[in-house]
Structure 1
């Protein structure tokens, strides 16, 4: 599903590696690792600079402190960006290739930088799910190899295709693969499709899909990079949005004070902000691990066309099943506050 409506209309050193060496999915090739360079998660969030500009992919000294050397895991050992959970495809620039067991220090003016970003952040999102227990004590979630297509769409948009189980990241404005929260947002759609094939066939289920993907983008990047201190954690895609928003840049938020049904306008990204606020309130009340675990586990019970009300009931039930009556009461209160129950 698209990351956003048409944007012509909407007008430094060490990295914590917690959770980045999870075991590949059953049947995957032996795991290999290699160093590479990424944004963690994007330069606006890392540096707190609201005046950064794309300038047609030009690199500059201003971006320097945002580059981080990290370890890519779960690679297949071929020297390409192919691994247990993602294989990267690109028609712009040469495919990224490791040299002497490591990927060169590419910056944003090189197409290979975005390829590396895509691989790293999809794999990190899957490790986050495994960190919660999915694929261990809980059912696996999306432990499949997806195709990630970099810069193969000329517009400022990205999307997940459930018929082919792949993600396409656009290159209009700031190239979408330069912002980890855009990458993880699209992976969120893949997660839900992996749980319920074809999820999101009507307005309410589509809105839930956009909301969950925004939520996942924020929690995964905070888990991997730490809670941001220079920008607002609840803001999604600070860097990608510099091309079409005023400062402080933010595509959407997960803490908007919207209420169902009076704030419904019939557009999935806008209406999704009602659902994402409920998820955000659950996380604030129960903590990241318990909140995200029950939110994701509940989605196994969704229908492709689930309503806000039914999805809320399933999420309350998941809280009860996993953590008991107190957690269920907290989740119920969050959905009641948004008008879903």
Structure 2
């Protein structure tokens, strides 16, 4: 069985519920007026080597930095840093127990590669910050109310299995190290940040199977939306495929953790497992995005979540999403959202 990813072990849920980067010019660290105004250069995958290189035969090989990974390393500028030289910023503070903390020298982090733990530390910082920048680009925090503009703790390689999770009781994300280290795939990082987003909007979100499935689906949707926004729609892999690189350890090519464009239908395809059932909800979100475009779709999808209950049902959440579409963009957008959910059997 392939490994799964969970939001958090939420009380009441039986079992385990459990900007742009490419081509950014290198600039020296700066400390402008105000807190969290420092920047520093660093090296990341953008978003992962399978997407970037189109190579489905890449292998983890125990974190070996083989030559084929070379073209996937991308220089970026980390933003919103506190100026301490550590990976501490406005939206995330990185902690690792498996390697020394990454440290910037002279306004730049060393060009870490995947064979050292510091690479995942930099990846975690960059992609959480990028995800928050994406959300703000939609108007949240300016024309719309803020979404998850808090500093979370991101723990690298804290869990030995091939799994990652968000803990709402501590407001932190832990990234596992089984198989491909989860911190090497931006879409895994952003998926987990999606759980943080929903918890920031609705504390304790995801206490039932249906609400938990919505959480997993939104994490998958956000992962794809952010990676495409930051790096461009992938030309060498399928955009609807989530976490192409992380999934090489447990899937056959073409590698996908899950997909956003599946054909599952409610209720006959419900399996009582949040990741599997989430593919019903994520397909509806994907269809809204295809109908309205990324900006409108993501804006109304995120705005609607303010009206979710911690134990929301598919039907109630769909109704809230249609209402947000109508409120923000009018009847035609509401009709597109209604059709997306009706096509899945939810409305």
TM-score (structure 1 length as normaliser): 0.93
Check whether the contact 2:184–2:246 (CA below 8 A) recurs between aligned residues: yes
Distance 1:241 1:200, change over 3 A: same
SS at match of 1:148: strand
Correspondence for 2:16: none
- Give, in whole Å, the separation in 2 of the partners of 1:274 and 1:150: 30
Q: 1:265 aligns with which of 265, 268, 271?
A: 271
- Contact 1:16 1:224 (8 Å CA) reproduced: no
Partner of 1:99: 105
Q: 3-state DSSP class of the match of 1:46?
A: helix
Choose the corresponding residue for 1:233, options 239, 242, 250.
239
SS at match of 2:238: coil
Per-residue CA distance 1:205-250 (angstroms, 9 max, x = gap): 0000000000000000000010001000000000000000111111
Contact 1:47 1:65 in 2 (8 A): yes
Q: What is the correspondence of 1:1-341 to structure 2 with a 5 Å cutoff?
A: 3=5, 15=22, 29-341=35-347
Taking the aligned partners of 1:155 and 1:333, their CA distance within structure 2 comes to 39
- Asked whether the equivalents of residues 36 and 89 of structure 2 are also in contact (C-alpha less than 8 Å), the reply is no
Aligned residue-pair number: 323
Answer yes or no: is the 8 Å Cα contact 2:85–2:103 preserved in 1.
Answer: yes
**Counterpart secondary structure, 1:152:** strand
Runs of 4 or more above 6 Å deviation? none
Q: TM-score, normalised by structure 2?
A: 0.91
Instruction: Output the CA distance in 1 between the equivalents of 2:23 and 2:80.
Output: 17
* Contact 1:302–1:311 (8 Å) recurs in 2: yes
Name stretches of at least 5 consecutive residues in structure 2 with no aligned partner.
Answer: 8-20, 26-33
SS at match of 2:235: coil
Conserved? CA contact 1:80–1:97, under 8 Å: yes
Q: For residue 23 of structure 1, what is the aligned residue in structure 2?
A: none
Is this contact kept in 2: 1:236–1:253, CA < 8 A? yes
Rounded to whole Å, the distance in 2 between the matches of 1:246 and 1:323 is 41
Alignment partners' CA distance in 1, 2:22 and 2:235: 16
Would the aligned equivalents of 1:205 and 1:305 in 2 still touch at CA under 8 Å? Answer: yes
RMSD value, Cα: 1.3
In 2, Cα distance between equivalents of 1:31 and 1:206: 36
Stretches of structure 1 lacking an aligned partner (at least 5 in a row): 6-13, 19-27
Contact 1:200 1:206 in 2 (8 A): yes
- Measure the CA separation in 1 of the matches of 2:113 and 2:75: 11
